[in-house]
């Protein structure tokens, strides 16, 4: 799980940008769910 931490931070960064760039919303949501899935597996 510690391996995914940098990826999780980048995901949070994308989620912060979703207000400025609308298309980023779908990408950030996908990466966020993907990170949670990897965390569970």
Q: What are the boundaries of each domain within the chain?
A: 2-40
pLDDT band at 23 (very low <50, low <70, confident <90, very high): low
- pLDDT recorded at residue 21: 62
The whole-number average pLDDT for the span 18-23 is 63
Query: What end-to-end distance do the CA atoms of the chain give, in Å?
Result: 10
- The residue that leads in pLDDT, 12 or 21, is 12
- pLDDT recorded at residue 27: 80
> pTM for the full model?
0.39
Alpha-carbon gap, residue 15 to 32, rounded angstroms: 9
Q: Which residue has the tokens 């940008």?
A: 17
């Amino acid at each position: 799980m510690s391996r995914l931490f940098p990826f999780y931070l980048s995901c949070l960064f994308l989620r912060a940008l979703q207000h400025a760039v609308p298309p980023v919303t779908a990408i950030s949501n996908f990466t966020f769910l993907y990170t949670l899935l990897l965390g569970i597996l």
